[in-house]
Chains A and B, each alone.
Chain A
Amino acid sequence: DGGITQSPKYLFRKEGQNVTLSCEQNLNHDAMYWYRQDPGQGLRLIYYSQIVNDFQKGDIAEGYSVSREKKESFPLTVTSAQKNPTAFYLCASSIDQLGLYTWSNQPQHFGDGTRLSIL
């Protein structure tokens, strides 16, 4: 079955450590996204990528980095510069074809999330 796989499900970070969250999709979607969810809050956009080797900052990119070397993969690194990393992280993807006006109505499909905590 096609879908989005996030791993690990739970992750613990030590002080000063970088950690990487994995996101893989086999939906052949062009665009991929990372969101952060805090208790009592909606999702906030960290980074997004419309095409391989290109990505853009979202609303809360500070302290995070991403790469998009393959269409299927969009890993998120939470760096030591992110002082409050404890949150639930969701990866999403959607069909977004460059040059087509109507792509925005395509829904985003989400993974099951990774919960990151501080040791």
Chain B
Amino acid sequence: AQTVTQSQPEMSVQEAETVTLSCTYDTSESDYYLFWYKQPPSRQMILVIRQEAYKQQNATENRFSVNFQKAAKSFSLKISDSQLGDAAMYFCAYRSALTGGGADGLTFGKGTHLIIQP
């Protein structure tokens, strides 16, 4: 079974600065997908960014980018120019690509609470 670990329960950053959230995972598979989801106080889960394991290039979505290190099984999220609206819980998630045709769900880490200081 796969596991996802987020070692930082809480992070704090000044508005307009850069912050990096860490995520490591454990798997014996070579094909999989990784995601970062944001959960604001409204509790809705919002996709931030995704990465295919077979792609060497790190994914980028505007101010959000990842540092994907497949050999180290690391998938960190960098948020540049932090904004007050970025304050939320951030969850790292894993999904296998080899499910024998079944649509297995996501395996989530426990989350990192990101605080933005004005």
Chain A interface size, as a band, is 20 to 34
Tell yes or no: B42 within 8 A of A by CB: yes
> Across the interface, which residues of A come within 8 angstroms of B110, CB to CB?
40-42
A104 touches B33 (CB 8 A): yes
Other-chain residue from A40, A50, A109, A113 in contact with B103 (beta carbon distance below 8 A)? A50
B residues with CB within 8 A of A: 4, 6, 9, 32-33, 35, 42-47, 50, 52, 91, 93, 95-97, 99, 101-111
> Across the interface, which residues of A come within 8 angstroms of B109, CB to CB?
42
B91 touches A105 (CB 8 A): no
Chain B: minimal CB distance from A12 (Å)? 18
B43 touches A50 (CB 8 A): no
Chain A: minimal CB distance from B2 (Å)? 11
* Alpha-carbon distance A58/B105, docked complex (angstroms): 8
B103 touches A107 (CB 8 A): no
Tell yes or no: A74 within 8 A of B by CB: no
A42 touches B42 (CB 8 A): no
> Across the interface, which residues of B come within 8 angstroms of A99, CB to CB?
101
Other-chain residue from B46, B91, B95, B108 in contact with A104 (beta carbon distance below 8 A)? B95
* Alpha-carbon distance A103/B9, docked complex (angstroms): 31
* Alpha-carbon distance A69/B35, docked complex (angstroms): 30
* Alpha-carbon distance A59/B29, docked complex (angstroms): 19
* Alpha-carbon distance A105/B50, docked complex (angstroms): 8
> Across the interface, which residues of A come within 8 angstroms of B45, CB to CB?
43, 90, 92, 110
Across the interface, name the chain A residue whose C-beta is closest to B55: A105
B43 touches A48 (CB 8 A): no
